[in-house]
C-alpha cells in the first residue's frame, strides 16, 4: 500500500512539473514577443516625434525652430519625404511634407534643433 501511494504521488508530481515547465516555456516566449513589440513601438515613437517636429517647423515658416531629444541608442536619417529611426535592431519610418531636409548632425542622447532656414529644414545638435 505504501508503494502505491508513493508511485501515485510521483506520477502526480511529474505531471505538475511537466505543466510548470511548459508554462515557463510559453511565458518566456511571450516575454520575448512583448520586448520585440515594445522595441518596435519605441522606434516608431522616435520616427513620429521627428516627423512631427520637421513637418511643424516647415509649416511654421522661415526662422521657426524646435528642440527635441534623440533617445539614447537611436539614430535618425532622412530619405526624400521619409524620416527613418533605427534602434534596438528595429527600423521605423514616418512621412514628411517636404523633401528639403538637411541632416547636419543628430547625436543620440542629445538635444537636436530642427530649424527652418529659408524653406530648408536643418537638423543639428543643440
**pLDDT tens by residue, 80-120:** 899 999 998 899 999 999 999 999 889 999 999 999 999 99
Please give the Cα distance from 7 to 4 (Å, whole number): 5
| pLDDT tens, residue by residue, 42-65 | 999 999 999 999 999 999 989 999
pTM of the model: 0.79
How many domains does the structure of the chain reveal? 1
* Domain span including residue 9: 2-125
Q: What angle do CA 17, 20, 26 make, to 5 degrees?
A: 145
Q: What angle do CA 92, 37, 97 make, to 5 degrees?
A: 25
pLDDT band at 2 (very low <50, low <70, confident <90, very high): low
Q: Looking at residue 9, what is its pLDDT?
A: 86
* Mean pLDDT score of the chain: 92
3-state secondary structure of 60: helix
Amino acid at each position: 500500500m505504501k508503494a502505491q501511494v508513493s508511485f501515485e504521488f510521483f506520477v502526480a508530481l511529474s505531471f505538475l512539473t511537466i505543466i510548470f515547465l511548459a508554462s515557463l516555456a510559453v511565458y518566456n516566449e511571450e516575454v520575448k514577443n512583448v520586448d520585440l513589440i515594445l522595441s518596435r513601438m519605441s522606434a516608431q515613437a522616435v520616427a513620429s516625434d521627428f516627423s512631427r517636429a520637421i513637418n511643424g517647423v516647415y509649416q511654421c515658416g522661415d526662422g521657426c525652430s524646435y528642440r527635441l531629444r534623440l533617445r539614447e541608442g537611436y539614430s535618425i536619417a532622412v530619405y526624400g519625404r521619409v524620416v527613418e529611426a533605427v534602434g534596438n535592431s528595429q527600423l521605423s519610418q514616418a512621412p514628411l511634407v517636404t523633401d528639403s531636409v538637411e541632416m547636419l548632425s543628430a547625436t543620440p542622447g542629445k538635444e537636436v534643433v530642427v530649424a527652418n532656414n529659408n524653406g530648408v529644414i536643418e537638423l543639428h545638435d543643440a
